Amino acid sequence: MYEQFYKLRELPFALTPDPAFLFRTPQHGFALDMLRYGVMSGSGFCLLTGEVGCGKTLVVRELLESMADDVSIGLLNNLTSQSGRLLQWVNLAFGLDHTAPDEVTLYRRFERFLVDNYAEGKRAVLVVDEAQNLAPDMLEQLRVLSNVNSGKHVVLQTFLVGQPELLNTLRSPELRQFAQRINIEYRIGPLNPKDTLAYVRHRLTVAGGDPELFAVGAVAAAFQASRGVPRLINQLCDTALVYGYAEQQERIDKELMDEVIRGRRAGKIFPGKLARREPARRTRGPTEAKPASTG
C-alpha cells in the first residue's frame, strides 16, 4: 500500500518472523551465540525465554537456518496439554510415521531414528516453541525422552523457547529433575531507547528504504508506548506508515506517531494509558503534501 510512496522494496515492519530482518542487539546476539554453543557442545537441554514479541522466534529461526548439514531438526509449535500424545508430535516433527496406536511402537520408532541418525554422524535437535503452553507432565515426557542419551553420546538435544511463565513451571518441585538438566539458559528482555532507534533504522534499511524515514522523536514516542517490545514497535511503525501515506507525508514525525498511539490505545487493546486527545489533524490530499519534518 505505502511501499511505492516511501520507496520500499517490501514491508519493513511485518509481524511474521523473517531472519533477514533480525536485528542483533547485544542480548539477541548473545542469545544466538548461546544457542549455537548449546548445539556445538552437545547440551541436552537449552532454554530461551522472553516476553511476548521480544524476538525469541526470530532468533530461533536464525539459528535453524544456520545449522550445519549434520543436524536433523524437529520443530514443534504451539503445543498445549490438549494436543494429544507428545510422542506422536515429536515423531511427526522429524518426519517419522506417527500413526502407531501405542506408545511403545512410537518410542521404538523414534529411538531407531536417533540411533540411525547418530550412526550417520548426525545429531537430532528438537525445538519446542511456545513451550510455556506445555503442562508439567508433557515437560516430564521430554525429560524421559532425553534418557536415550548415554554418557558422552548425545543423540537428542532439546531446545525450549517460551514466555516467562515457563520459568515458573520449571521451578515447580515436580520438575526439579528436568530443571537440573538445563545446560544453557538465557532470557531476552525488551529494547532500550538507543536500540529501538537502531532497530527501526535497521528494518527500514533491509526493506530498501531511508533509514531516517522516522524522526528521532517519533521513534522515542514508539519506544515509550511499546516499552521496547519489538512486536509492538512494529505495529506502531507499520500503522504510522499507513497514516503517513494517507496524508502524503514524506517523513514520519512525532506528531503523527502520537496520533497513531492514540488511535491504537482508543481500542483498549494496545497496552498503556490513553493520551490526552488533541484536535484531529486535517487529512491532506496529494496536492497538499506537507513538507518533510525534521522534528
Mind listing the pLDDT tens digit for each residue in 39-54?
Answer: 888 888 999 999 887 8
Residue 76: give the domain boundaries: 26-188
| pLDDT recorded at residue 10 | 94
Place of cell 532500550: 192
| pLDDT recorded at residue 278 | 42
Task: State pLDDT tens for residues 158-192.
Answer: 999 999 899 999 999 999 888 988 999 999 989 99
Show the cell assigned to 273.
494509558
| Global pTM exceeds 0.75 | no
In a domain, 94, yes or no: yes
| Cβ atoms of residues 60 and 159 within 8 Å | yes
Same domain, 183 and 197: no
How many distinct structural domains can be found in the chain?
A: 2
Whole-number Cα distances in Å, 73 to 7, 10, 121: 38, 29, 14
Considering 188, 203, 238, which residue would you say is the last residue of a domain?
188
| pLDDT recorded at residue 96 | 92
Whole-number Cα distances in Å, 184 to 164, 190, 240, 293: 16, 20, 39, 47
Measured distance CA(16)–CA(158) in Å, rounded = 24
Residues of the chain with pLDDT under 70: 151, 268-269, 271-295
| pLDDT recorded at residue 288 | 39
Same domain, 114 and 157: yes
Same domain, 159 and 197: no
Considering 148, 170, 188, which residue would you say is the last residue of a domain?
188
In a domain, 274, yes or no: yes
